[in-house]
A and B are shown apart, each in its own frame.
Chain A
Amino acid sequence: MSENRLIWFHGRECPHCRQLRPVVERLEKDNGLTITQLEVWHDEENAELMRSYAQAITPACGGELGVPAFYNEVTGKAICGGRITAEQLLEWAKG
């Protein structure tokens, strides 16, 4: 069910997710945003939610679901990949 969240789907053992963590946390702090962090490899409910957004996330990931992936429940926009910048994240968050 959509709750109008900004969601970060991540994996506990994904190196790019680990590298992005400080970027996400700074973005939240500097812009007063809340990004819901959902781990997908150790929580099947989170994985299922991610699959339910596959139509938007899959193309953003280049054809297959992957992490790190960000999904905006308000706009339906997704961005995905290990080289996401703070600027791209802010643009995604603001729709």
Chain B
Amino acid sequence: MKKLWRCHVCNDVHLGNKGPEVCPTCGARNAFVLSDRAEALEIIGEDHPVIGTPQEVVAAWRQFADQSPTVRLTEKDEEVELLSQGVLENRNTKGQRYCPCRITSGDLRKDLGLICPCNFTRQRTYREIGECWCGLFIKRDGT
């Protein structure tokens, strides 16, 4: 099971098999110490902003795609809007921003893999035609 880690310099929180060598927030090296759920939740706080509007969902997708050398967001704005509404519907009714083009199994551990963006690079559509299942993320030319 992945563990929680806390940067002892700036309280950056990380979930993973080990803490990052360099803290992505403050730059401290070898600064992560084993943490736990209660401590991590306390650091995150109750007032942490939610991604709760279609605009905020799309902004998160754009941030993800803009930093990626391999994928971009589709230019079909209407589809982006429809999908952003879908993931928010799913958050409201199923608890997470699940992909509106897949379907949950009811097994939470398994369904966490359906949160958008999912790990679409393993999907058949991405391998064969360079698109995630929904056509939201497209492989960049020449990659």
A residues at B contact (CB < 8 Å): 9, 11-18, 40-42, 47, 50-51, 62-67, 81-83
Question: A81 — which chain B residues lie within 8 A by C-beta?
Answer: 125
Question: A41 — which chain B residues lie within 8 A by C-beta?
Answer: 86, 89-90, 93, 100, 103
A14–B105 contact, CB under 8 A? Answer: no
Question: B114 — which chain A residues lie within 8 A by C-beta?
Answer: 64
B103–A51 contact, CB under 8 A? Answer: yes
Asked if B135 lies at the interface with its beta carbon under 8 angstroms from chain A, I say: yes
CB distance from A45 to the nearest CB of B (A): 13
- Against A, the Cβ 8 Å flags (1 = close, 0 = not) of B92-129 are 01000000111111100000001000000001110001
Complex: how many Å from CA A42 to CA B105? 14
- Beyond A41-B89, A62-B124, A63-B124, whether A15 also contacts B103 by CB under 8 A is no
> Which residue of A is nearest B76, CB measured?
A15
A18–B82 contact, CB under 8 A? Answer: yes
B103–A50 contact, CB under 8 A? Answer: yes
**Size category, B interface:** 20 to 34
CB distance from B102 to the nearest CB of A (A): 5
> Which residue of B is nearest A64, CB measured?
B102
B residues at A contact (CB < 8 Å): 76, 78-79, 82-83, 85-87, 89-90, 93, 100-106, 114, 123-125, 129, 133-135
Complex: how many Å from CA A15 to CA B76? 10
Majority SS at the chain A contact face: loop
Complex: how many Å from CA A62 to CA B90? 22
Question: B87 — which chain A residues lie within 8 A by C-beta?
Answer: 13
CB distance from A51 to the nearest CB of B (A): 7
Interface centre among B86, B87, B101 (most CB of A within 10 A): B101
Interface centre among A13, A50, A67 (most CB of B within 10 A): A13
Question: B79 — which chain A residues lie within 8 A by C-beta?
Answer: 15
B103–A13 contact, CB under 8 A? Answer: no
Question: B124 — which chain A residues lie within 8 A by C-beta?
Answer: 62-63
Complex: how many Å from CA A66 to CA B126? 14
CB distance from B58 to the nearest CB of A (A): 14
A62–B123 contact, CB under 8 A? Answer: yes
